[in-house]
Amino acid sequence: MSARTSDWLLRQLPYGMLAEDFFVRFVSIFQTEAETLLQHADNMPYLADPDVTPTAMVRHLAQWLGMPGIDPSYPPDVQRRILRTSAAALQWRGTVTGLTALLELYAGGSVQVTEGGGVFHEGAAPEGPAWVVLEVESTGPLTERDFLALVLDEVPAHVHVEVRIGGRRAWPLLEQDDEGELAS
């Protein structure tokens, strides 16, 4: 809310112009129209705040951060939590910390991450490709296909991924189609 009075534009006119009724009514038209523009400008600082921005903007901000999109059928508080967690995890993207935070959000429970990465002295790195094993009890509100797509988007491309859902190996058992997309 701004500190402007309802006649903010008229108050800027010289006194002689205020004596003319037609001119006052004419300028009032512009004042009414300008008020909507100023309200938008007043709200700009709040558009990026997940706690107060409109729900549609929450989904837009998530896409801007690189998220695949938030399902509009989720309750507003869940959409806001997804945005906040995604934003916080962005600086940790591709790491165990970032992956755990994001997957716990969607899985609705704990995520077990085992990986072979680390920092090693020259010549002391383990042989073979980098790998990570992710274990969750459920995929939460996501379908298994969407959950796997989220995982594969978050894990660095050079890392071999294994995903276990409810104790069952879900990836890499799924076949891939010709375009490299997940098969149903």
User: In this structure, what token pair is assigned to residue 130?
Assistant: 């980098």
The residue whose two tokens read 């990465």 is: 117
> Which band of pLDDT confidence, cut at 50, 70 and 90, is reported for residue 170?
very high
pLDDT above 80: residue 175: no
Rounded Cα–Cα distance for residues 56 and 37 (Å): 20
pTM here is: 0.68
Q: Residue 172, preceding bond cis, omega within 30 degrees?
A: yes
pLDDT in tens, 65-118: 888 778 899 899 989 998 999 899 889 988 899 999 989 988 888 999 998 877
The residue whose two tokens read 């729900």 is: 55
Number of H helices, E strands in the chain: 6, 4
